Structure 1
Amino acid sequence: MDEQTRPRQASSEVRTRDRVGFDRHGLMTRPGARITRTAPGRVYLLLPNRPGR
């Protein structure tokens, strides 16, 4: 992957702000969602599969 196509990482301040905001909202943390990566303009979430759904 070259420099132009490689996703950039967000700064540590942005990652911290995103995580604090995410943790404040129980709607996403209740089913077990978590932030896996942040990049400029994007936040990637992981939501585990729930059996029987």
Structure 2
Amino acid sequence: MHVQRRDMAAMTMQQSRESPELYLLPPTAFYTLSRASHGIPIRRIISMICM
């Protein structure tokens, strides 16, 4: 559990530095993003996928 939290924190820090959302997503997420409305922020889509 603690390792997962640390990994998530590291990913969050990396996102805030570089914003590498696209290469952190699984391949199925690209399909979801390509179909998503432009009115939905990418971070919201990511949070929906990660739930």
TM range (shorter): 0.3 to 0.5
Q: Write 1 or 2 for the structure with the bigger share of strand.
A: 1
Q: Write 1 or 2 for the structure with the bigger share of helix.
A: 2
TM-score for both structures, normalised by structure 1: 0.32
Higher relative contact order (CA 8 A, sep 6+): 1
